[in-house]
Structure 1
Amino acid sequence: MIPLPLARIAEITSGALSGMADPRAVVRGPVVIDSRGVEPGSLFVALKGARVDGHDFAAQAIRAGAVAVLATRPVEAPTVIVPDAAAALAELARAHVAALPQATVIGVTGSAGKTSTKDLLARLTARIGPTIAPVGSFNNELGHPLTVLRADADTRYLVLELSARNIGHIQDLARIAPPQIGIVLNVGTAHIGVFGGKEAIAKAKGELVEALPRTGVAVLNADDPLVLEMASRTDARVTLFGRSEAAAIRAEDVTVDERGRASFTLRTPSGSGQVRLKLYGAHAVENALAAAAAGYELGLPVATIAAELSAATPVSRWRMEVTDRPDGVTVVNDAYNANPDSMRAAFEAFGVLGKGRRRFAVIAALRELGEESAALNEELGRLAGGSGLAGLIVAGPDAQPVLQGAYAAVQEASAAGPPLAGAPPFPPAAGGPPFPVGVPQAPPPVGAPAFPQGPAGPQGVGGAPVPPIVGGPPFVGGSANPQQTLIRHVPDAAAAAAELAGWLRPGDAVLVKGPRAMGLERTAELLLGGAQQ
């Protein structure tokens, strides 16, 4: 952050000094909204949430070294009092960017892949000059200005994510930090229930290219028709990326190895380079191309772009993190968030990574899908149930459509082989079909965790009691036989881990993916011994 005296902060935010605040006291950063992140020289922004009021932590922030508090009411600390703390934070960030004339702002948006693309692009821009990028997914009305305020006089590139939960959100974020380069990755189904349709999502995402100056660059996905149409919404120069011939920056000869990592020839107007990604999933190719296109526009040599993309490893947590346990079980933690599009991409990657192995998945019902929620969640269940899994766990509430879709998928696949003799039926859920289970075999290993218990024993769909599974399911992975696919419904992430612990054997593979609110990253952490990922 560029050092600012409190008097200047009050002027920018239309605030008033209170609590014996010294107008000459200088804030040197960082600006934080969590008192635990305060450092000497900080400005603490007191926000009132549904459960926690930041004003209650003002004194603690000052004791930790904060110069002052940005607040909406007087507190026992030097304070800049403003009508709206979030709006004041945005104004402070906007003034801050204006004081960084040498910094190039690059915005990234899309329904999926924003964080991975941002991480790749920040790696590329760091080859040219000092770069600031969000930690994780700081991409909303709070995370965006907080990231901007981390920049200082030496910063040359600000690589920012811009998210939207409604029309106008990206426009507001672009006003805080006007972009010179705007990247639109895709238009998918994330938050479709909030927006009401993909056309509305496209309208919101396109606000990024509308914010570009005539001298700017719009980097658009040539393979997504709704993104390609955005070329007509900007006066900036347009550069296309993708796999089609229309793309100036494109991937050719794409191959995927046994771990699901893609390699391709990066083709540009001035030459080509070979890229071998360390990131998992074929969908990482599009993210790499988007970053490559922006890097190319900034003048990076193709060889440098290819080398940096090939060397990149996952930076942000819980996005296709692949970890091998000592016993050979592979855990894929893709639990940061989920929507129908990212679910399909994850299962596609998992099918490659887990080929020839028993595969299990932990998922949860998707949210913010509006009137299409039941249909899309049933489609998710069909996707999971038709993926040749040895076992599927659906965690959390509103799971019935997912479970119905999963059961329908394995039932339809039953023609692939005769039913497994002696497999006991899963007791039916209220209003739903019976769910199959495997056949009990060996006794459980010593120390195996117990299954979550309900009033009448282990719980199935709708709370129906189910017979305990001893020693895990005895089936082989990849079978399409519905009697060889175990389906369970559990209440939460911890219960999912406990259930899986009794199923897994050396060499198995597990995919963990669901909406952010379900916290399924905890499932992956428990499967890996509780270690932080």
Structure 2
Amino acid sequence: MITLTLSELARAVGGEVLLAPGDTLDTVVSGAVDTDSRLIGPGSIFVAKPGEQTDGHLFVDAAAAAGAVVAIVEHPVESSVASAASAAAEPRSVLTQIVVRDAVEALADLAREVVARVRSGGDLRIVGITGSNGKTTTKNLLARILEPEGETVSPKASFNNEVGAPLTMLRVTEATRYLVSEFGASAPGEIARLAGLVEPDVGVVLMVGMAHAGGFGGIEATLAAKSELVRALHRGGLAVLNADDARVASMAPIASERDAAVRWFGRGGGVDGRGVDVRADDVEVSASGTTCVVTADGVSATLRLRVLGEHHVMNALAAIATATALGVSLADCIERLEAVEIAERWRMQPLGSERVRIINDAYNASPDSMAAALRTLAQITGPGERTVAVLGAMSELGEYAEDEHDRVGLLAVRLGIQRIVVVGAGARRMFLEAVAQGSWDGEAIYFETADEAYDYLMTELRDGDRVLVKSSNSAGLRFLGDRLGESFS
């Protein structure tokens, strides 16, 4: 984080300062900000956030012991260290506390202030990314392109919510050239709130699909929510839009309201034939990755993407469209993307060996990403090899859950997946649909737990199998994928 005095910090979050001995309002702080006391280091600022499982106020002492110099709290916390010393001396706090009404809102306010200061005094460019699928992969690909150009801050893992996004923003310094923010949401208004903290110079919208549709209340409500990023653009900025998705394409007039230009990416000419600025042709998929010809503003080059899955071509196009708009050459984009082996752990991550290849894609799942992963499995499996899909539940679909799980079971059968292993009660509809479609002679099997599925797979898998493990994070199958990967490494 940038350097602030305690007075400036308190003013940014609208809090009351309770000074520890030795501190004054002019004391300077510049350490990292975190809500997890286990990640606190010397000079850090600890935000004591109440949570569903525990309360950050219980860990103020732990944060202080780890080196925190300030705690942002919702009520004063008397240190147990100070209490123990009070028999012989006056009680005291071991670190300065800033008391606020709401710790999460204070975190957002601090992020807004820090980014605004850096932006006003330097050359910071801010990119925001949203979409029903592909945010984390696109964020990682774009960061890899931009990092050689200058100091780049991007989210760890999927830090894209009301806590993770501000924590990412607070990592900027006066030397930061690019801030890449990922904006996720499970309800209307969340993207507007997060993107509104920084008003991105560039807003990237990947797709509008069924992910989180249960929370939004349907696909049109999802469209409205994803549009919030374009509405939050810095005036005169740039919207990078998927020309192949009609719902994303419909956001172009919103960009005009912000006096923002539109840059299109896609696999074809766009849903209305308008053409695209960055496109991919001659796409070929294999077990080692995807090859295509990328054309950006009339310049063409071959991209050999090692990240598995044809669907990642669109994520690469979005990253290229953004980076070239920021001044990076297409040749540099291609060179840096070709060095990326996996987008993120548990996202189309190759494990195992050539004998039994495991693809662990169980960090997240939606109907769109589930379909893309199954198609990839079918595409990369060659003659004499066998397709095995280990599938778990897709979360946050609400009233659409049963129908969407049915569709996945149907698709797996139509793609000719030879073994369909369904795990967990939330995914049982996939199994029932697969059986209804003809996979009743051992091709489809159901297990209540991942341990049961593991025991079965250890006896069932054989040389030449290509195994996809796919589910939402909450289903926990990513750990099953790791176990299988280790067993067949």
**Partner SS state of residue 251, structure 2:** helix
Contact preservation (8 Å) 1:377, 1:402: yes
Structure 2 residue 184 is matched with structure 1 residue 163: yes
Pair 1:84–1:292, CA change in 2 (3 A): same
Q: Deviations over 1:355-385 (max 9, x none)?
A: 3312222211222222222111111122223
For residue 421 of structure 2, the aligned residue among 370, 386, 393 is 393
Counterparts of 1:152 and 1:224, CA distance in 2: 36
Contact preservation (8 Å) 1:26, 1:67: no
Normalising by the residue count of structure 2, what TM-score does the alignment of the two structures yield? 0.90
Counterparts of 1:186 and 1:385, CA distance in 2: 26
Structure 2 residue 135 is matched with structure 1 residue 107: no
For residue 84 of structure 1, the aligned residue among 82, 98, 102 is 102
Structure 2 residue 35 is matched with structure 1 residue 40: no
1:165: how far off?
1.2
Letter in 1 for 2:386: R
Unaligned runs of 5+ in 2: 80-93, 270-274
Q: Which residue in the other structure is 1:255 paired with?
A: 284
Counterparts of 2:114 and 2:234, CA distance in 1: 19
Contact preservation (8 Å) 1:250, 1:266: yes
Structure 2 residue 436 is matched with structure 1 residue 512: no
**Partner SS state of residue 98, structure 1:** helix
**Partner SS state of residue 262, structure 1:** strand
Letter in 2 for 1:253: D
1:110: how far off?
0.4
Q: Which residue in the other structure is 2:260 paired with?
A: 236
Counterparts of 1:178 and 1:330, CA distance in 2: 43
Structure 2 residue 460 is matched with structure 1 residue 488: no
Counterparts of residues 464-475 of structure 1 (less than 5 Å): none
Contact preservation (8 Å) 2:130, 2:206: yes
Normalising by the residue count of structure 1, what TM-score does the alignment of the two structures yield? 0.83
**Alpha-carbon RMSD:** 1.8
**Partner SS state of residue 252, structure 1:** strand
Unaligned runs of 5+ in 1: 412-435, 437-482
Counterparts of 2:329 and 2:207, CA distance in 1: 26
For residue 27 of structure 1, the aligned residue among 26, 29, 36 is 29
Which of structure 1's runs of 4+ aligned residues deviate more than 4 A?
none
Counterparts of 1:273 and 1:135, CA distance in 2: 30
Counterparts of 2:154 and 2:49, CA distance in 1: 23
Q: Deviations over 1:164-196 (max 9, x none)?
A: 212211110112121000100000100111112
Pair 1:269–1:398, CA change in 2 (3 A): closer
Counterparts of 2:52 and 2:191, CA distance in 1: 24
Contact preservation (8 Å) 1:29, 1:150: no
Counterparts of 1:40 and 1:212, CA distance in 2: 36
Letter in 1 for 2:378: G
Using the aligned pairs only, state the percent identity. Answer: 42
Q: Deviations over 1:69-114 (max 9, x none)?
A: 1111111242111110000000000000011122110001000000
Contact preservation (8 Å) 1:260, 1:281: no
Q: Which residue in the other structure is 2:365 paired with?
A: 338
Q: Deviations over 1:295-322 (max 9, x none)?
A: 1111111211222222222242110001
Letter in 1 for 2:373: A
Structure 2 residue 241 is matched with structure 1 residue 220: yes
Q: Deviations over 1:241-297 (max 9, x none)?
A: 00123111111122223x162111111224111111011000011000000101111
Counterparts of 2:444 and 2:401, CA distance in 1: 24
Q: Deviations over 1:450-495 (max 9, x none)?
A: xxxxxxxxxxxxxxxxxxxxxxxxxxxxxxxxx251412222x333
Pair 1:65–1:71, CA change in 2 (3 A): same
Counterparts of 2:205 and 2:7, CA distance in 1: 39
Structure 2 residue 133 is matched with structure 1 residue 176: no
Q: Which residue in the other structure is 2:169 paired with?
A: 148
**Partner SS state of residue 410, structure 1:** coil
Contact preservation (8 Å) 2:352, 2:486: no
Number of positions where the alignment pairs a residue of Structure 1 with one of Structure 2:
459
Contact preservation (8 Å) 1:333, 1:511: yes
**Partner SS state of residue 312, structure 1:** coil
For residue 58 of structure 2, the aligned residue among 45, 56, 76 is 56
1:522: how far off?
0.7
Letter in 1 for 2:14: S
**Partner SS state of residue 293, structure 2:** strand
More moved, 96-105 vs 70-79 = 70-79
